[in-house]
């Protein structure tokens, strides 16, 4: 079902055209107004493109699309769960597959970083240079530890980057994995619930 383009207010900015933001599922006729939720996320164009990708898949594969989307750094479980809710997946499913996609992606980065550090410790590979961002992350790691950086770090950098960096700093691989999973689940649930509430408000 095609819907007319909408123009959504964006505060002091000119009203922006947001085509394809309102959709309607054939089963149940649930309107999905993307802009109502993503206007506060400040990444509507990206979310729109990801929603288009996941929503273009057959209904029985849309969960897989959300999982793939959530594996992308800077998208992760929080935006992945939003995309899942907005294409009409049940919130629990949307959050669950987004978390799984993010966790799998994070594990790849952690295990790779662990392998690199093992070679560095064994003297088989040179340690990577400290960039300003990496130095800042190291200071946060020294101050707040694995748990603090895992929970709060996603507001600055993707879980894949923070987790790999902490392992390279010498943190326990298992501790990093545990706290990253806690963080991924937490952020996925929070954003999934917010997206669900946003969709229900604009029905």
Q: What's 13's DSSP letter?
A: E
Show the domain range for 169. 58-203
Region of residue 23 (phi > 0: left; psi between -120 and 50: alpha; otherwise: beta)? beta
Tens of pLDDT, residue by residue over 77-116, are 999 999 999 999 999 999 999 999 999 999 999 988 877 7
Cα 202 to Cα 24: distance, rounded to the nearest angstrom: 12
157 occurs within a structural domain: yes
Cα 78 to Cα 2: distance, rounded to the nearest angstrom: 28
154 occurs within a structural domain: yes
Cα 168 to Cα 113: distance, rounded to the nearest angstrom: 6
20 occurs within a structural domain: no
Cα 154 to Cα 78: distance, rounded to the nearest angstrom: 10
Cα 101 to Cα 118: distance, rounded to the nearest angstrom: 26
2 occurs within a structural domain: no
152 occurs within a structural domain: yes
Tens of pLDDT, residue by residue over 110-128, are 988 877 766 655 555 555 6
The answer to whether residue 40 scores a pLDDT higher than 80 is no
Number of separate domains in the chain: 1
39 or 82, higher pLDDT: 82
Give the pLDDT confidence score for residue 112 in this predicted structure: 87
**pTM (2 d.p.):** 0.71
Per-residue confidence band for 158, with pLDDT thresholds at 50, 70 and 90? confident
């Amino acid at each position: 079902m095609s819907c007319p383009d909408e123009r959504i207010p964006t505060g002091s900015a000119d009203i922006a055209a947001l085509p394809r933001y309102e959709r309607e599922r054939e089963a149940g006729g649930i309107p999905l107004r993307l802009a109502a939720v993503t206007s506060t996320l400040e990444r509507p164009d990206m979310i729109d493109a990801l929603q288009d990708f996941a929503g273009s898949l057959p209904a029985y594969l849309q969960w897989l699309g959300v999982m793939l989307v959530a594996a992308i750094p800077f998208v992760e479980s929080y935006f992945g769960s939003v995309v899942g809710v907005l294409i009409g997946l049940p919130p629990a499913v949307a959050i669950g597959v987004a978390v799984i996609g993010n966790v799998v992606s994070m594990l790849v980065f952690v295990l790779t970083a662990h392998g690199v550090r093992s070679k560095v410790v064994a003297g088989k590979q040179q340690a990577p240079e400290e960039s300003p961002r990496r130095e800042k992350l190291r200071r946060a790691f020294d101050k707040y530890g694995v748990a603090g950086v895992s929970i709060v770090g996603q507001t600055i950098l993707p879980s894949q980057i923070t987790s790999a960096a902490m392992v390279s700093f010498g943190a326990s691989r298992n501790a990093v994995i545990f706290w990253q999973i806690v963080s991924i689940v937490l952020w996925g649930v929070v954003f999934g619930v917010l997206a669900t509430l946003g969709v229900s408000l604009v029905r």
